[in-house]
Structure 1
Amino acid sequence: MAGDAEATRGRLLEAATAEFSARGLAGARVDRIAAAAGSNKAQIYHYFGSKDGLFTAVFDAIVTRTTTDVPIDVDDLPGYAGRLHDSYAARPEVQRIAAWHRLEHSGSDPREGTAGGGRVRSIQDANRAKVEAIAAAQADGRLPERWSAAELLGLVLQISTLWHAAVPELDDLTAGSARHRRDVVVDAVRRLLAD
């Protein structure tokens, strides 16, 4: 019985990932998600409480998977940025859902929790751990201190998303192989760290 429940929950998360990736939180419909998962709307509310709760669960799963699959390496931030770039290329829904999260949850009060646009704890925890690791490497002299640890993390993360978050019109001006684009990301972070 528990296996059935977990399988249903997994199917709902998979269907919701596709729906939220294509339409965002506001445009997504729970009836389409339920139908794609071979389930019903009542199951969505049972497992996730609301459509917003389901979106948060999808975003949390993406953050958890990305953090697990691509752990930070403070001694090789250029390589880390390259691996993040690769993970975004392999899973384009990640950047789409992240964009929807930024658009639909921006300006919210972090004290609100996840319902109604609050912060997602998994991303807060992941970022906090990364900032702490960078700060420790800065204190050891392994990373430059010209930026705070949080600023350096932000720069590395933004560079890693360069090709996945850019407007399509930029593609017309930057024709290049996937390997070349990855190399640009890695080289940019390498130069960022140069003394």
Structure 2
Amino acid sequence: MRNAEATRERILEAALEEFSSYGVAGARVDRIAKNAGCNKNMIYVYFENKETLFKTVLQKHLARVYEENEFTPEDLPGYAARVFEYAMTHADLFRLMAWYGLEKSVIGDLADRSSVQEKKLQMIADAQDAGQVGQTFAPGFLMTAIMALATAWTATNPFGPSYDRNAVERLDETKEAVATAIRLLAKGEEGSAKPTR
């Protein structure tokens, strides 16, 4: 049983590298098997097809992100700073996410991801109701802003690195700027339009 689990883990590691480099369409099961040191048929035994393998890899790494980066609706700037740090040190995952966005019609939705997103939106709404977060912006807008800003300087983003070329050399300063921007957005301005939930 240990050998089977070890083989499965080697396949998942090799698949992360392959999919983050080539996406689903460009990935080759032969290369994944070679890099995992296993027979190509084992991939189909464990994962049925390439699309299921991609989803399994992505879900595994997203689960790790959720576990390692606690969502704190009462401290959205701190959460944004943690996401920024994670994004800047896990380029392979963010390349994988970019491929997921491009090939979602072939791969399909990730059920776990949707439920986590809904939970976060509800937590922000609850924090707004408790007065911990301003109500200027809707929860969905705030989460989009957090994720967009926190991941803007990853290699897969076409804007951050091109507009602010030196930001990667000043990671602490950039992280603080991201946190400050989210602090201002989360505070909001009273008297502005109410969020639509």
When normalised by structure 2's length, the TM-score is 0.88
Deviations 1:172-195 (A, max 9, x none): 365641111211211111121233
Aligned position for 2:64: 65
Q: Report how many residues are paired.
A: 185
Correspondence 1:21-170 to 2 at 5 A:
21-105=20-104, 108=105, 116-164=106-154, 165-167=156-158, 168-170=161-163
**Conservation of the 8 A alpha-carbon contact between 1:162 and 1:185:** no
Aligned position for 1:5: 4
Once the two structures are overlaid, the 10-residue window that deviates more, 53-62 or 159-168, is 159-168
State the 1:62 CA deviation. Answer: 1.4
**Conservation of the 8 A alpha-carbon contact between 1:63 and 1:122:** no
Structure 2 gaps of 5+ residues are 190-197
State the alpha-carbon separation in 2 of the partners of residues 159 and 171 from structure 1: 13
Identical positions, percent: 35
**Conservation of the 8 A alpha-carbon contact between 1:15 and 1:37:** yes
Does residue 188 (structure 1) correspond to residue 187 (structure 2)? The answer is: no
**Conservation of the 8 A alpha-carbon contact between 1:86 and 1:182:** yes
Counterpart of 2:141, as a letter, is E
Deviations 1:27-84 (A, max 9, x none): 1100000100011211111111100000000110111010000010011100100001
Once the two structures are overlaid, the 10-residue window that deviates more, 125-134 or 10-19, is 125-134
Counterpart of 1:8, as a letter, is T
**Conservation of the 8 A alpha-carbon contact between 1:31 and 1:41:** yes
State the alpha-carbon separation in 2 of the partners of residues 154 and 8 from structure 1: 37
Structure 1 gaps of 5+ residues are 109-115
State the 1:85 CA deviation. Answer: 0.7
**Conservation of the 8 A alpha-carbon contact between 2:55 and 2:107:** no
State the alpha-carbon separation in 2 of the partners of residues 175 and 21 from structure 1: 21
RMSD, aligned CA: 1.6
State the alpha-carbon separation in 2 of the partners of residues 154 and 59 from structure 1: 20
State the alpha-carbon separation in 1 of the partners of residues 163 and 53 from structure 2: 33
State the alpha-carbon separation in 2 of the partners of residues 169 and 190 from structure 1: 24
Once the two structures are overlaid, the 10-residue window that deviates more, 159-168 or 55-64, is 159-168
**Conservation of the 8 A alpha-carbon contact between 1:131 and 1:153:** yes
Cα separation, partners in 2 of 1:175 and 1:125, compared to 1, 3 Å: closer
**Conservation of the 8 A alpha-carbon contact between 2:77 and 2:183:** yes
State the 1:171 CA deviation. Answer: 4.7
State the 1:25 CA deviation. Answer: 0.9
Deviations 1:2-43 (A, max 9, x none): 221111111101000001111111111000001000112111
| Secondary structure of residue in 2 paired with 1:177 | helix
Aligned position for 1:177: 170
